[in-house]
Structure 1
Amino acid sequence: METSRGSTSAEPSWYVSVQQPEDAEAEAEAGELSPLLSNELHRQGSSGVSFGFSVFNLMNAIMGSGILGLAYVMANTGILGFSFLLLIVALLASYSVHLLLSMCIQTAVTSYEDLGLFAFGLPGKVVVAGIIIIQNIGAMSSYLLIIKRELPAAISEFLTGDYTGSWYLDGPTLLIIICVGVVFPLALLPKIGFLGYTSSLSFFFMVFFALVIIIKKWSIPCPLASNHLKECFQIPNATDDCKPELFHFSKESAYAIPTMAFSFLCHTSVLPIYCELQSPSKKRMQNVTNTAIALSFLIYFISALFGYLTFYDKVESELLQGYSKYLPHDVVIMTVKLGILFAVLLTVPLIHFPARKALMMILFSNSPFSWIRHSLITLALNVVIVLLAIYVPDIRNVFGVVGASTSTCLIFIFPGLFYLKLSREDFLSWKKFGAFLLLIFGILVGNFSLALIIFDWINK
C-alpha cells in the first residue's frame, strides 16, 4: 500500500482524505459530503487509481484462502442452499460497504478504526482495532496452514523414491523456514506498496484454479477410489455417493455463513482503496465494490460447484487435499498448487500491515515511528500466526471461529451499529431500518454459528 503524498511517517497512512472527484461540488450541494471532506476534496488533485485497477485491488483483498473451503460448505448445505446463502452474504457485504461509505462521507474519515472512535469514543476505536487484529491473524494463520499442508505434498510430487522423514517434507519445519526467510523480512518493510504488484498475480492464480477445477471434474471418476470396497462388492447404492444434493443440512452446516463471511471480508481495505480512487465519489466507489464482489462471487461459486461435483460428500475442508489424494502427480494440479501457494505466500506480508497498524493504534497511537517497536510487533505477530498454523488441526476451524466472530462484526454488526449511531437520518428511514436489520442479522448469525461450532468441538 502506498503512503499519501506529503506523509512523513514511515508507516503508510490510511488517514488521508480522499482526492477530489469531478462531481465533488454537486455532492457537497446535495449534502452528501461533509464540509471538512468537501474542502479536502477541493484542495487535492484528481489523479489516482483507475476504476479497473481499483476493482482489481479490491478483488485481491476479497479473494484468498476462502476459495479452498467453499466446496466443503456446499457439500454441507447442498447446491441450492449454498447458492442462496452465498448470494445473501454477498449482497449484505455490498450493502454494508454502502453504509461504510455513507459514514465516511459524513465524518470525513477514511479509517475503520476512526469510525469506531466517532461512534463510541476511544473504547469504540480500541474494539474495532482489536477485532481487525484478530481477523487478520486468523486470515494469516489460515494461509500458513495451507502452506504447511500443501507444500510438503507439492515437493514430494517432484521427487522419485522414498524420502519419508526428510526435513524438507515436514510441514512445520518448512513453515518456520519460509516465515523466517520470506514472510518476516517482507513484513518488516515499512512501505510495502510494491508488494501489491506481485500480489496481483494471486487473482490470475485464482481464475486459473477455478478453470482447473472445471477441467479436472472429468478426470476423477465417481465413486472415488476410497469407495473401492463398494465397487468390489458391487453394492447397488454405491452410485448414490455421486448424486448432488440440492439441500443438505447437518451440524457441519454451522460453518457455512462464517466461512462465507470470511471469504467476502474486504471492509478494512475499502476505505483505503477509496482514498486512492481516481475521481472519487461514493457512487463510483460503490460501483467498484459491487463489481469486485460480483466477480468474486462468480469465481467462488464456480470453484465450489465443480469442486463439490468432483468429490461430493468426500470433499475435504481444504479443497487441494482432495486433488493431492486422487491426482498426486498430475502436472496441471501440481502447477495450480504451486501457483496458489505462491499467491498465499505473497499475501501474508500484506495482511501483516493492517494488523500491525491496528496494534500500533491501540498501544502507540501518538508515538513517532521506531524501528525497534516496528520489528518487535512484526516478530510477535509472526510468532503467533506460526504457532496457530502449526497447532490448529483443521482450516475449517479457522474459517468457522474467525468467521463467526470477527468477520460477522466487520461485515454485519459494526457497519449497522455505527450507521445507527452516526447517521442524522430519522430512525424510521429505510437506510436506518436496513442498518438495524444488518445489525440483528450479524448478531444472530454470529452467535448461533459460534455456539454450534463450540458444541461440535465439545462432542468431538
Structure 2
Amino acid sequence: MAIIGGAASPDSPGGSSPAALPGLEQPLLLHAALPQPRNKEPDHDHDHEAQRATQAEDGATFVRTCFNGLNGLSGVGLLSIPYALSEGGWLSLALLLVVAAVCCYTGLLLQRCMSTSPPPRSYPDIGALAFGRPGRLAASAFLYAELYLVAIGFLILEGDNLDKLFPGARVALGPVTLAGKPLFVVLVALAILPTTWLRSLAVLAYVSASGVVASVVVVLCVLWVAVVDGVGFQGKGRMLNVAGLPTALGLYTFCYCGHAIFPTLCDSMKDKKKFSRVLTICFVACTLNYGSMAILGYLMYGDDVQSQVTLNLPEGKISSKLAIYTTLINPFSKYALMVSPLAMAVEERLGNNKRSVNILVRTFLVVSTVVVALTVPFFGHLMALVGSLLSVMASMLLPCIFYLKIFGATRCGRAEVALIAAIIVLGSLVAATGTYASLKKIVHEF
C-alpha cells in the first residue's frame, strides 16, 4: 500500500507490452491491443513495497473480499435512500441504476489500471502512474479526506442515535463528566478501536460480514413494519420532481462511494483476476438492497419520509427497535474498513512496520476523529458537501481521468472514450449541483 509521496510506486520508467499484462490485451469496450502506460515518472523516495507485498497464501479469499466490498458499499446511505427517492420522484429511481452502473464501470477502470506492470498497490499509486507525483497528491487528498470525514460521520451517527435511545446517560470520571452525545461518541470510539488494529483484510472480513447482515436485516425490519405492524403502503409520492433531482443524484452517488477502498481490496486478494467478479456481485447485491429500501420507504410514507427512514418507524414496536439497533451496527463494522487505507498510508510514511507503532498510529487516528466529531458544528451539511464533492471525484471523475491518461485516449476506441466523457460530464454535474445545494444549506444555518 503506497502513500502520499512515500512508498515506491509504479512510476518507473519503461512499461510492459500488452502481452505482459494478462487479461489486459483489450480495453474494456474495444477489441484492440492495450497500449503501454504513459508519462510514468520515477519515485525513489522510499521503497517499502517489499514490506507491503501481499503473499498469495496470506491474501483474502474471494468470499471474504466480497464481504469487505459489500460492507464498503452498504452503509448509512441505506437509511437515506427513501428520502432520495422522495426528492426526485419515482422516475428518479432510474438514476439509481445509472449511478450504480457508472460506479461499477469506474471500479473496473481502477482494476484495469492496477493490472499494469509493475502493478500499483493503491489509489494514490494509480494517480502516480497517470500523472506522477501531482497525480499521487491529488488522489491522496481526495481519498483520505473522504475516508477521514466519513469515519467522523460514523461517530456522530452513533452518538446521536444512542443519545436518543438512552437520554440522560451520564458518567463521572473524577473531575470530568461525560453526558449525552459526547459520552456515547467516546464509548463507541473505545468499542471500535480494537477493530482498527486489524491490519489483515482477510480477518477484517469477519467484521464486515456483520455489517452486510445488518444492512439486510434493516430492510427486512422495514418490510415487517409495513406488512405485519399495520403501517401499510399508503404513500403515493410524485412521479418526478425536477427541483429535487440534484439532491437525489448526490445521495445516490454517496451510496456507491466505495472506490477509495477498491484498490486496497484488490491488492489484498489471493487471486486478483477475480476482483471484477467481486465488483459485479457487490454492485448488483447492493443495488437490490438499496432499491428495495427506497421503494419500501417511499411506498410507506410518500413525501413525508424523513432523511432517515428509521425516524418514521412507529415507536414501541419490536421491529422498529430492531431496525434502529441494527442500524447502529453498520458504523461499527465499517469504521475500521474506512480508516485502514489512511492508517497504512501514515505507517508507510513513517517507514516503521513495528506492531506497536501501527497500534499507536491507528489509536491516534481514532482519537482525532473523536475530537473532530465533538467539536465541528453543522456536520450534517458538511458531510453532504464532502459527499457531493469528494465522493464524486473519487468514484466517477478520477478513475476516468487516470484511465485515459495511463492507456491513451487514442487507443481506447471511440465508443469507450465517448462513454468515459459522458461519465465525466455526469460526475461534474452531480458535483456542481450537489456542492451548491450543500453550501446553500450551510450558509442558511449561519
Shared fold per TM-score greater than 0.5: yes
Instruction: Give the corresponding residue for 1:243.
Output: 236
Instruction: Give the corresponding residue for 1:68.
Output: 79
Whole-Å separation in 1 of the counterparts to 2:322 and 2:342: 31
Among 313, 333, 337, the alignment partner of 1:350 is 337
Whole-Å separation in 2 of the counterparts to 1:263 and 1:401: 14
Once the 2 structures are TM-superposed, how far is the Cα of residue 123 of structure 1 from its aligned partner? 1.9
Whole-Å separation in 1 of the counterparts to 2:169 and 2:335: 28
Among 377, 398, 405, the alignment partner of 2:389 is 405
Segments of structure 1 that go 5 or more residues without pairing to the other structure are 4-12, 17-22, 36-42, 157-163, 224-238
**Counterpart amino acid of residue 323 in structure 2:** V
Once the 2 structures are TM-superposed, how far is the Cα of residue 357 of structure 1 from its aligned partner? 2.7
Instruction: Give the corresponding residue for 1:259.
Output: 251
**Counterpart amino acid of residue 256 in structure 1:** A
The TM-score with structure 2 as length reference comes to: 0.78
Does the 8 Å CA contact 1:420/1:436 hold for their aligned counterparts? no
Q: Which moved more, 1:25-34 or 1:424-433?
A: 25-34
After superposition, the Cα gap between the structure-2 partners of 1:25 and 1:78, relative to the gap in structure 1 and judged at 3 Å, is closer
Show the 5 A alignment for 1:68-217. Answer: 68-81=79-92, 83-107=93-117, 108-155=119-166, 164=168, 166=170, 170-179=180-189, 181-188=190-197, 193-217=202-226
**Counterpart amino acid of residue 210 in structure 2:** L
Among 340, 362, 365, the alignment partner of 2:327 is 340
After superposition, the Cα gap between the structure-2 partners of 1:295 and 1:344, relative to the gap in structure 1 and judged at 3 Å, is same
Does the 8 Å CA contact 2:347/2:358 hold for their aligned counterparts? no
**Counterpart amino acid of residue 309 in structure 1:** L
**Counterpart amino acid of residue 208 in structure 1:** V
Segments of structure 2 that go 5 or more residues without pairing to the other structure are 2-6, 11-18, 27-32, 38-53, 172-177
User: Identity, % of aligned pairs?
Assistant: 18
The TM-score with structure 1 as length reference comes to: 0.76
Does the 8 Å CA contact 1:262/1:402 hold for their aligned counterparts? no
Once the 2 structures are TM-superposed, how far is the Cα of residue 221 of structure 1 from its aligned partner? 4.3
After superposition, the Cα gap between the structure-2 partners of 1:277 and 1:97, relative to the gap in structure 1 and judged at 3 Å, is same
Does the 8 Å CA contact 2:221/2:322 hold for their aligned counterparts? no
Among 424, 432, 437, the alignment partner of 1:447 is 432
Instruction: Give the corresponding residue for 1:293.
Output: 283
> Secondary structure at 2:196's aligned position in 1?
helix
Does the 8 Å CA contact 1:419/1:435 hold for their aligned counterparts? no
**Counterpart amino acid of residue 273 in structure 1:** L
**Counterpart amino acid of residue 204 in structure 1:** V
Once the 2 structures are TM-superposed, how far is the Cα of residue 207 of structure 1 from its aligned partner? 0.7
Paired residues in the alignment total 402
Q: Which moved more, 1:411-420 or 1:133-142?
A: 133-142
**Counterpart amino acid of residue 355 in structure 1:** L
Instruction: Give the corresponding residue for 1:230.
Output: none
Whole-Å separation in 2 of the counterparts to 1:368 and 1:45: 20
Does the 8 Å CA contact 1:47/1:279 hold for their aligned counterparts? no
After superposition, the Cα gap between the structure-2 partners of 1:25 and 1:411, relative to the gap in structure 1 and judged at 3 Å, is closer
Does the 8 Å CA contact 2:72/2:258 hold for their aligned counterparts? yes
**Counterpart amino acid of residue 83 in structure 2:** Y
Deviation string 1:204-238 (CA, Å, 9 cap, x unpaired) is: 11111111111212436489xxxxxxxxxxxxxxx
Q: Which moved more, 1:407-416 or 1:384-393?
A: 384-393
Instruction: Give the corresponding residue for 1:27.
Output: 23
Instruction: Give the corresponding residue for 1:59.
Output: 70
Once the 2 structures are TM-superposed, how far is the Cα of residue 253 of structure 1 from its aligned partner? 4.3
Instruction: Give the corresponding residue for 2:422.
Output: 437
> Secondary structure at 2:307's aligned position in 1?
coil
